[in-house]
Structure 1
Amino acid sequence: MLRATFIAAIAGLAVVPLARAEVAVDVALVLAVDVSRSMSHEEMRIQRRGYAAAISSPEVLRAIAQGPRGRIAVTLFEWAGDHHAREIVGWTMIETRADAEAVAAKLLSAYSQGERRTSISGGIDHAVGLLETMPYAAQRRVIDVSGDGPNNQGLPVTVARDAAVRKGITINGLPLMTEGGYGTIFNIPDLDEYYRRCVIGGPGAFMIPVDDWDQFAEAVRRKLVLEIGGLMPPGVPDADARVMPAQFDFQPPYDCLVGEKIWRERGW
């Protein structure tokens, strides 16, 4: 084995560690969850409960089972400024109900911690790093970003998005069009449009806006089903799913630096 690795290396070939090639999954999914201080403690608890309920739901388990391999890999971290990325669930394969319930239990075992600033770009960059070092071979690689405000720190979000897309990664969005929390003065009323134009991208990218926290768990469930199997949940009309695909040609232009400008204009 060592001799084969050495020969491949000197021949200039890419060497893939055995651990990464041992298990193939249908999709590798990074869940990047906003915990910036614009989120209240209750909102962060709703997020944890919503992801736990969605991941262990019958619809998501059915979507996993219908894939060619019948298993996915998932990891979840919480992000805020580009200095903060806290792993909650490390890379885990979900193939059975027990696997999904174990992930859900981990999500519910601790509380989220709010941190300063909002760096969607930092979250995307961290997610890309996780995908590039994951211990699985995946047909598709997806980053799922949720958040309640625009990027206001770190690299411009479009720079991080475009770098990820060039690597064949899809970025989907879950913009939280909710009211309340501590930092709403930095939020924007058209966050869904911001996500559509500035955040999501790559093959088949889409987003599902959330208008009220009561919708959160259902929106996450719909989103996971789409990402895993490309299917709509049973009994949910397309018109109610509020799925918006990525677009690449917009008129008029959209200001993807709006969050940074709001931060500066308000004297921060």
Structure 2
Amino acid sequence: MSCSSAFRKTGKALRTCLIITLAAFAISQIGIWREANAQDRIQVDLQLVIALDVSTSMDVEERALQRDGFVAAFRDAEIVQAIQSGRHRRIAVVCVEWAGEQRQNVIVDWLLVSDAASAGEWADALERRIPGRLPMGTSISSALLRAASLFDSAGYVGARRVIDISGDGVNNRGPDPASVRDVLVARGITINGLPIVYKRLLQGVSSQDDDTVTPMRLVDYFHSEVIGGPGAFVEPVLGLHHFRQAIRRKLLREIRGSEDLAALPPADGPRHGDGAAGALIAATTWPTAARSSAEAPPR
């Protein structure tokens, strides 16, 4: 969205424009600094920001299952093997909890993960954290901006930069998430989604009666408004029992990168506005589109 068009629209649109413009400038300056200082930083195959939804719509059990899913994943031998299969045989990971516009907290700082011991160290640090519960709505866009700001806050430079964001609802505070997504993708960041889709109430996704709103509507929302970048994908959490499986699958795919991307959907395939079928396939304009894992059984 251009600033000229924003001036002709609402005050909210103008505010969104100004926020995104300032964010784009800040990220561009960080990018210049990053390139100038890359030689002084540790090279890794992946810089990964894990952004956990802890808004008030997430209950105690869900927040614990979300945390424990990432704890278990980093203790998984196949995850460690995937990390060691990259060129540099190491990744850097940070974890942040988020909710409303001004509600983002780093709970596990950047750590270099290269083997079972360091992966276990990261898992232990996360396990020691009691999941937060942050108020003031759901601002996916603000969470993405905060996550993007973390990439150059440590002594690492990644061949790939990925934001792994979970969420059980749609953006209802802050800038338009699709506009923020476009800025971040232009800066070389990939955003993948972990929508929590088994709940009946998807406030803001549809004005229809609660019983008529299918969980796949949130998958569709993440496809069209949140994810982006080369090979961006969605990995839905289909039930309370599915957190660990979904998180493990998602991390494996992110760590392996382009080697584990699904095939590009056909040019005449379904689009994200075509109901259930469209919700299963990411119809993005990014260089590499990728299938959602919603149609595949957990492995």
TM-score normalised per structure 1: 0.78
| Pairing partner for 1:229 from 237, 256, 276 | 256
Q: What RMSD over aligned residues (CA atoms) do the two structures have, in Å? A: 2.2
The 3-state SS of whatever aligns with 2:172 is: coil
Q: Does 1:139 align with 2:175?
A: no
Cα distance, 1:88 vs. partner?
A: 1.1
**Pair 191,104 (structure 1): closer, same or farther in 2 beyond 3 Å:** same
5 Å matches for 1:33-48? 33-48=52-67
How far apart are the structure 2 equivalents of 1:68 and 1:25? 8
Q: Does 1:248 align with 2:284?
A: yes
5 Å matches for 1:1-268? 16-17=36-37, 21-116=40-135, 117-179=137-199, 184=201, 186=203, 188=205, 189=215, 190-230=217-257, 246-248=282-284
Greater RCO, 1 or 2 (C-alpha within 8 Å, sep 6+)? 1
Q: Does the CA-based 8 Å contact 1:49-1:217 persist in structure 2? A: yes
Q: Cα deviation per residue 1:216-240 (whole Å; 9 max; x = unaligned)?
A: 11111111111111356xxxxxxxx
Cα distance, 1:187 vs. partner?
A: 5.8
Identical aligned residues as a percent: 40
Gaps spanning 5+ residues in structure 2: where? 1-31, 206-214, 261-278, 286-299
TM-score normalised per structure 2: 0.70
Cα distance, 1:106 vs. partner?
A: 1.1
Cα distance, 1:79 vs. partner?
A: 0.2
Displaced runs of 4+ in structure 1, greater than 6 A?
Answer: 12-15
Q: Does the CA-based 8 Å contact 1:31-1:144 persist in structure 2? A: yes
Q: Cα deviation per residue 1:85-144 (whole Å; 9 max; x = unaligned)?
A: 111111111001111111111111121121221000001000110013332111010011
The 3-state SS of whatever aligns with 2:130 is: coil
**Pair 67,13 (structure 1): closer, same or farther in 2 beyond 3 Å:** closer
How far apart are the structure 2 equivalents of 1:15 and 1:174? 30
**Pair 177,14 (structure 1): closer, same or farther in 2 beyond 3 Å:** closer
Matched residues, number? 224
Q: Cα deviation per residue 1:38-60 (whole Å; 9 max; x = unaligned)?
A: 00011111111111001221111
The 3-state SS of whatever aligns with 1:115 is: coil
How far apart are the structure 1 equivalents of 2:35 and 2:66? 39
Cα distance, 1:15 vs. partner?
A: 7.0
